[in-house]
Structure 1
């Protein structure tokens, strides 16, 4: 999605560049390996350290650095004895991803056990201090639950997996809850929003602060040619595609009622339009705008985060061919919030601008939020924290 740091290294080359490596079951490792990396200071300066005594050059590769081509920027680390280190300037309040480049081999930080997969790459991550990042931290508040569930899609004739968040107290309660359907971008799957998007932490914290209504959040897999995330289905361990063949075909939109039916048949949810919301990022934003117009009397709250528009001009699905008429029906049948967020540097900025002109031309009301930055998880997490408090309040 927003970060593509290309990783190519064998286990043998990793052992060579690091000089020494502790075995997994080494219960008495070299004390030198116990240094902290990354180490976040009170002013959000961050120090990174790596043990690489035989390396000639070590660089930090971070998603907050200025981009160089398709990858993140790099910052030279300084050698001090057997370690290399780098200390950043004060950083924003957020969650960040990084790798270490050791003589051209990009590896994860051996001193940081916290990792996230984004599409086909894995990264170390860390959180800085401050108000925004505090929403992404696990706080001492009541916690909801995350579950991976399988559902049958009759439209697609297959069983598929989704991730579902239930709010604190759901298991003990008898009440019914409103639902947010939250869609990922191209290259993602049902694990993207829970991991990179910090959904459970954000919802737990906003609910605890009284800023959001308790709700269920449903995160399906938007690539209908895959039943589940990589390695989690009978398809096995396969090369991960950023753009699967189903992208832009309309099959996700056409089959979305199967997701709604599963949720409403298996969870205590409110089933009226005023208790349903749908939002998505990038490709998921495209899914959101087409699903919400294709089912024009289904959702009262719609959120487009850095939304793409039509991704396949040749697809003949009715969600595309009848879009203008569907959009007018959606306008006429009404809704409570149509929320659009876009970064000033997003490569889809012009696409978003053209879509807003389309809405303006038919007098379809919306709320627009323009932020700094581009097509990034930093923006999508931010948008979620701003969108969720506006849901189900009327």
Structure 2
């Protein structure tokens, strides 16, 4: 019996030593990707010794329409593929690898975001605009995901609300900025992709923007919440929701305002309300502000999807010119429009501006480089927010 126990003990010790050898991290090759170099070039690396081809897709790369031109990586003798970009301006960027035709995430980068059904890695280059999107050592606001009842839609709905630093400890009332997402988004989009809380925290700390409450809704009335956050379960997100441009979002927006003004310390008057949105959210902002012409003093249209509505007979979309005239007569502090020079909606915005010009409807116009991208929408938010509630 003693001999058997001795043999078993030796086996256990040997197994332990072998396990320790397998956990010898000193022999592990560390791969850094992405590596932001001192000159603001960026090096990407991927260990894939058996791959035949590795490409890189990034949102800074030129594109032809919706198709981004991909960049080839080169493999070294150890099986590591790599590529170094040209100098990139300070900003937030997203990317993915494509290995033998299959899109994959960077296993060496844990920072990811979801845009509709696509998950991407992100990185940030500091020293300029990117600093505004970075978490800085400043007082931070609170971001809450909560549910509200929408009597008109007969369902509870999820909403994201940013309150500025000091809200919980104070008694002051604040102005409210309603910030709407695009066709592929939800109540998470402006936080995850738009860096809204970082932008607001930093602008407020710098004294460039007034402390404000920011309300980020789910603009798809057929979904009560972002994918995976509702009773619909874990379904594959699809940007082609049946409610798009139906008029439902605009017709029921009063439920959102009522919830916010009943549950938060807000200044509940026109001078202290703003609304803005990107793409589909820009379309919504246009029609919500026109249909409730004495509700918002600040209106922002970021790359607005000024397209024929799906339900043109909806009361929300009827007699737009007359509604704009009423909005004009009631007065407002700011009507702001931004669009990228290569945005596929550029001509639509040109046509809409012609309408406004013919009416002598005053607005501010911002034309930027690039197209229909989050790079532009983050930029627009960083420029629009400081103009709010300054009177």
TM-score scaled by length of structure 2: 0.92
What SS class does the counterpart of residue 265 from structure 1 fall into? helix
What SS class does the counterpart of residue 133 from structure 2 fall into? coil
1:32 deviation in Å? 4.1
Measure the CA separation in 1 of the matches of 2:292 and 2:380. Answer: 24
The residue that corresponds to 1:147 in the other structure is 144
**Is 2:255 the counterpart of 1:258?**
yes
1:315 deviation in Å? 2.9
Alpha-carbon displacement from aligned partner over 1:182-207 (angstroms, at most 9, x marks no partner): 00000110011001000000000001
- Answer yes or no: is the 8 Å Cα contact 1:93–1:127 preserved in 2: yes
For residue 71 of structure 2, the aligned residue among 72, 75, 87 is 75
Question: What's the RMSD between the two structures over aligned residues?
Answer: 1.5
The residue that corresponds to 2:55 in the other structure is 59
Alpha-carbon displacement from aligned partner over 1:322-372 (angstroms, at most 9, x marks no partner): 322211110000000000001110100010011111111111100001011
1:90-129 correspondence runs (5 A): 90-129=87-126
The residue that corresponds to 1:188 in the other structure is 185
- Answer yes or no: is the 8 Å Cα contact 2:339–2:367 preserved in 1: yes
1:348-363 correspondence runs (5 A): 348-363=345-360
Alpha-carbon displacement from aligned partner over 1:84-138 (angstroms, at most 9, x marks no partner): 1111110121111111111111100000000000010100000112220000000
What SS class does the counterpart of residue 135 from structure 1 fall into? helix
Structure possessing the higher radius of gyration over alpha carbons: 2
The residue that corresponds to 2:168 in the other structure is 171
1:236-247 correspondence runs (5 A): 236-247=233-244
The residue that corresponds to 2:43 in the other structure is 47
1:68 deviation in Å? 5.1
Q: Unmatched 5+ residue regions in structure 1?
A: 1-25
1:239 deviation in Å? 2.4
Deviates more, 1:177-186 or 1:96-105: 96-105
What SS class does the counterpart of residue 152 from structure 1 fall into? strand
1:35 deviation in Å? 1.9
The residue that corresponds to 1:342 in the other structure is 339
1:42 deviation in Å? 2.4
Q: 1:296 to 1:50 in 2, by over 3 A?
A: same
**Is 2:376 the counterpart of 1:379?**
yes
- Answer yes or no: is the 8 Å Cα contact 1:264–1:271 preserved in 2: yes
1:223-242 correspondence runs (5 A): 223-242=220-239
What SS class does the counterpart of residue 34 from structure 1 fall into? coil
The residue that corresponds to 1:289 in the other structure is 286
The residue that corresponds to 1:18 in the other structure is none
Measure the CA separation in 1 of the matches of 2:23 and 2:68. Answer: 35
For residue 32 of structure 2, the aligned residue among 27, 36, 39 is 36
- Answer yes or no: is the 8 Å Cα contact 1:33–1:111 preserved in 2: no
The residue that corresponds to 2:17 in the other structure is none
**Is 2:320 the counterpart of 1:323?**
yes
- Answer yes or no: is the 8 Å Cα contact 1:183–1:222 preserved in 2: yes
Q: 1:31 to 1:177 in 2, by over 3 A?
A: farther
Measure the CA separation in 1 of the matches of 2:23 and 2:176. Answer: 46
The residue that corresponds to 2:13 in the other structure is none
TM-score scaled by length of structure 1: 0.91
When the two structures are aligned, how many residues end up with a matched partner? Answer: 369
Measure the CA separation in 1 of the matches of 2:65 and 2:386. Answer: 37
**Is 2:85 the counterpart of 1:88?**
yes
- Answer yes or no: is the 8 Å Cα contact 1:247–1:311 preserved in 2: no
1:71 deviation in Å? 3.8
